[in-house]
Structure 1
Amino acid sequence: MNLAQFFLQGDVLARGVALLLLAMSVSSWVVILWKAWLLHRASRDVERCIAVFWQSGNVQDATEKIKAFDRESLVLPMVEATKLEAGNTLAGAGGRETQLTRVLRNALHLSLTKLQHGQVLLATVGATAPFVGLLGTVWGIYHALIGIATAGQVTIDKISGPVGESLIMTAAGLVVAIPAVLAYNVLGRSVARIEAELEGFARDLRELVGSASAPI
C-alpha cells in the first residue's frame, strides 16, 4: 500500500492529521530556507555596516553610506535614531543620554524582532509534530483493533498490516519535527551572534553620540 492509498483509506481524523503534518512540514521548510538566506545576508551586512560606520568622518556621512549596505535595515534605524529632535512632548524630555538610551533601545528591539521572525514557528513545529503523529498512530491502532474484533480472527497478517500503517504517522511526526528542531538550534546561534553585534554597536553608538565631542 502506497501513501496515497493509505491516505484515501483513512477516516476524517486520520486525513486531518496527515494534512496537518504536511502543512507543518511545508511551513517549517519555508521558514528554514528563508531564514538561512536572511541570516546569511544579514550577518554580512551588519559586519559591513559597522565597519563602514567607524570608518566614516561623521554620523551623517556614515548614515548615507550605510543605506547602500543595510539591505535588512538592521543597523540604519539605530544610526538614524540618534538624530534627536527637541519638542514639547515627553519624548523630548530628560537629558540627552536618557533620550539616546530610549531611542536606541527601541530601534534595537525592532531590529531584533526582525531577526527572531520564524523562530516561534520552528519551535512550535519541533515540539508538537511528534505528538500530532502519535495521535494519528493511536487512532489508527484503535481502528485496526476494532477491525480485528469485528472479523473474529486474530492472525499476524491482520495485526501487522494495520498497525504498521498506523506507525507511519509516528514516523511522519518525527520526520517533520527533527528538521525543525535542528534548524531552530542552528539558526538560533546565528541570530544570537548577530544580536550580540547589534547590542555592542548600540552601546558604542550611545557612548559616541552622547559625548560632547562626537562628530555629527
Structure 2
Amino acid sequence: MEAMDAVGAAAPHADLSIWGLFWAADIVVKSVMLGLLAASIWCWSIIVDKSISYRRMKAEMNRFERTFWSGQSLEELYQQQAEKPSGGLGAVFVAAMKEWKRSHEQNAASFVGMQQRLDKVLDVAIARESEYLEKNLGFLATVGSAGPFIGLFGTVWGIMNAFTNIAASSDTNLAVVAGPIAEALFATAIGLVAAIPAVIAYNKLSSDAGKMIGRLEGFADEFSTILSRQLEARSR
C-alpha cells in the first residue's frame, strides 16, 4: 500500500486548467483550437453586426411604409429618398422611380416595354438588397456544420498522440493518461462552442432575412401595380 502511495505521489500532476490544456497540447491540436477560436470570434462579430443592421433595416422599412401609404405624392417621396442613401424598401422605390423618370424623359412609346424595364429594375434592386441581407450568413452555416468535425479531428489526433506516448513510456497511471486525453477532448469542446451559436444564429438570421426579402418582393409587386395603372392612364 505504501508503495502504491509512493508511485501516486511520484506521478506528475497534469494541469487541467484551460490554459494548461492548451499549452500542453500538440501543435496540430493547438492549430485546431486557435482556428476554431478565431472562427467563433468572427461568427460572433457577424451575429452582432447582422442583429444591429437587421433591426435598423426593419425600422427603416416600417418608417418608409408609413410614409409611402400616407398619401404623399410619389415625386415628393422620391426627392426625399434620393437625397440620402437608403436601403431596403427605399432603395427599391428609388431604383424604380429612376427608371420611371428616365423613360418619361425619353418619351418611351411602348407601354409593354416600359413595364418590362420597370419589373427588371425592381428585380435587380431586390437581388441587390437580398445579397446585402444574406452576406456572411454562409460563414455561419459553414462553422455550424464543420466546427464539430474540425474539433473532432483535433481530438482524434490528440488521443492518437496520447496513446503513442503512453505506449512509449509504459506508464498507465491515471495522472499520466488524464492530461493528454483531456487536451484532446478540449478541441471538441471548442468546436461545439463555435458551432452551436453559429447554427442557432444562422437559423434566426436567415429567417429574418427571408421575411425582409418577402417584404421587399411584396412592396415591389404593389408598387409595380401602382406604376402600371399610371402608365395605362397616361397611354389613353
The TM-score normalised by the length of structure 2 is: 0.81
Match of 2:76 in 1: 61
User: Hey, what's the Cα distance between the residues in 1 that align with 2:213 and 2:232?
Assistant: 25
Alignment partners' CA distance in 1, 2:128 and 2:186: 42
1:194 alignment partner, one of 212, 222, 227: 212
Superposition deviation, residue 210 in structure 1: 1.8
Equivalences, count: 212
* Partner of residue 29, structure 1: 44
Alignment partner of 1:75 is 2:86: no
Task: Tell me the distance in 2 between the aligned counterparts of 1:12 and 1:165.
Answer: 12
Q: Which has the larger radius of gyration?
A: 2
How far, CA to CA, are the matches of 1:26 and 1:63 in structure 2? Answer: 41
Query: CA offset at residue 10 of structure 1?
Result: 2.5
- How many angstroms apart in 1 are the aligned matches of 2:134 and 2:29? 33
CA RMSD of aligned residues (A): 2.6
The alpha-carbon deviation at position 124 of structure 1 amounts to: 0.8
2:27 aligned with 1:12, yes or no? yes
- Kindly state the Cα deviation for residue 142 of structure 1 after the two structures are TM-superposed: 0.6
Q: Which residue of 1 is the match for residue 226 of structure 2?
A: 208
Kindly indicate whether residue 203 of structure 2 is the aligned counterpart of residue 185 of structure 1. yes
Note the residue ranges of structure 2 that are not aligned, 5 or more in a row. Answer: 1-14
Give the Cα separation in 2 of the matches to 1:72 and 1:12: 49
Partner of 2:144: 126
Moved more, 52-61 or 165-174: 52-61
1:90-139 Cα offsets, whole Å, 9 max, x none, are: xx996111111100000111111111112111111111111111111011
SS at match of 2:168: helix
Q: Is the 8 A contact 1:130 1:170 kept in 2?
A: yes
Identify unmatched segments of 5+ residues in structure 1: none
State the SS of the aligned residue for 1:63.
helix
Greater relative CO, 1 or 2 (CA 8 Å, sep 6+): 2
1:28-51 Cα offsets, whole Å, 9 max, x none, are 000001111111111111121122
Q: Percent identity?
A: 30
